[in-house]
Amino acid sequence: MKVFLDNCRTTRVLPEVLQVVQSYMAENFARPDGLYESAQQVYDDLITAREFFARSINADFPEEIVFTSGATESNNLAILGVARANRKNGNHIIISALEHGSVMSIASRLKEEGFEVTVVPVDNEGIIRLNELEKAIKPTTILVSVIAIGHFVGSIMPLEEIGEILSRQDHKIYFHTDAAEMYAKFPADVKKLRVDLLSVSGHKFHGPKGVGFLYVRKGTRIEPILYGADSFDKRRPGGENVPAIMGMKKAAELSLADMDQALKRLRELQEYFIDRVESEIDSVILNGPRGMKRTPYNVNFSFRFIEGEAISLGLSMEGVEVATGSACASEKLEPNYAILAIGGDHERAHGSIRFTFDRFTTREQIDYTVEKLKSVVSWLRKISPFKG
């Protein structure tokens, strides 16, 4: 059996999505900036896609949607764009300790440009400490960026509470969230969350890779990070990836229609998986929260006395594909920063494995995974020099 449980990294493209992508590559292939009929049809389709995505997050205007190549570009446009456009009002940015690597890299870049960056710690469940966030706010704070759902330990961040804190300040602080693990899996209402900017990646919910969007609330001061001839959206010049955008729209339609049922089913499957691993394998630690504070798409365990890389390779030989190490770069050998951020030591970080589901994951696949995991862990511990 082949079991793919690295769905937080990416998901398979659905046949219905592939069909849409192919039609816009081979049939409706015109660029939307032409004056002829086929170009105008593509332009109208892009407008329809914008309207759909705006409705899906309860945005007021379709023009608040900027199509991008994915969450990394969206994060760059949101954070760099807002920071640079509002520098005269302040130079202080706040992020959480569990941000995606792209946000961490952007923060480092802003430091080089003279901005001050505060990294707010998380608790031992991976949830941002709201009191620390509030204390970190200064008169020079212009932007707060907090991930919606921790991509490695699955913690759901209290975005509504953060939005409430920021709304009480006596000066404007823009609020951005990387919602790559939220959109099309959980309700994402930008008014309820009080966010000004929200990043999405299509490949996280069975859409194509290399496409996403950024929500930018009307009135948000933002500079482009790319420059070129004006096109569909001057905030992001260049030719639009129409096939991928329309494929992402189809994937979102399918995921949103199935969202409530998927959440219920995966919550039960997650609890079943956690119970089996904890009861059938010794010396394991569940990283991150339990229950409703955790996304049901994610389970992260640390296995004592052995390396996560070895477990991952052993499982791969049995047909089970999972993530270890840094969530987007498992080949790196440094300890995972997310495990360290929640209070884990280097052994716990190096022994961590992330199992992430999609909405099609089955109990049969979970049972197969547990049996192979038991076998791999048992064998590795027998040869481990660290135990006893």
- Single-letter amino acid code for the residue at 361: T
Cα 80-85-86 angle, rounded to 5 deg: 105
d(CA 133, CA 149): 17
Structure token pair of residue 166: 């920021």
Residue with tokens 């002829």: 36
Q: What is the DSSP string of 100-128?
A: -HHHHHHHHHHHHTT-EEEEE-B-TTS-B
Neighbours of 264 (CB within 10 A): 11
Phi-psi domain of 299 (left: phi exceeds 0; alpha: psi -120 through 50; beta: other) = beta
Strand order in the sheet with 298-303: 284-286, 298-303, 352-356, 323-324
What residues have CB less than 8 Å from 252, skipping those under 6 apart?
52, 53, 56, 183, 184, 202, 205, 207
User: In degrees rounded to 5, what are phi and psi of residue 27?
Assistant: -120, -65
Q: Which long-range contacts (CB under 8 A, 24 or more apart) does 133-139 make?
A: 133/94, 133/162, 133/165, 134/165, 136/94, 137/94, 137/165, 137/166, 137/169, 137/173, 138/90, 138/92, 139/90, 139/171
Query: Which pairing describes strands 92-96 and 116-120: parallel, antiparallel, or unpaired?
Result: parallel
Which residue, among 88, 82, 310, has the nearest Cα to 197 in the 3D structure?
82
Exactly one of 328, 340, 367, 368 is catalytic; name it. 328
d(CA 259, CA 76): 28
Structure token pair of residue 226: 């790319």
Which residue, among 312, 316, 321, has the nearest Cα to 358 in the 3D structure?
321
Whether 8 is a known active-site residue: answer no
Q: How far is CA 251 from the centre of its chain?
A: 16
Write out the catalytic residue numbers. Answer: 328
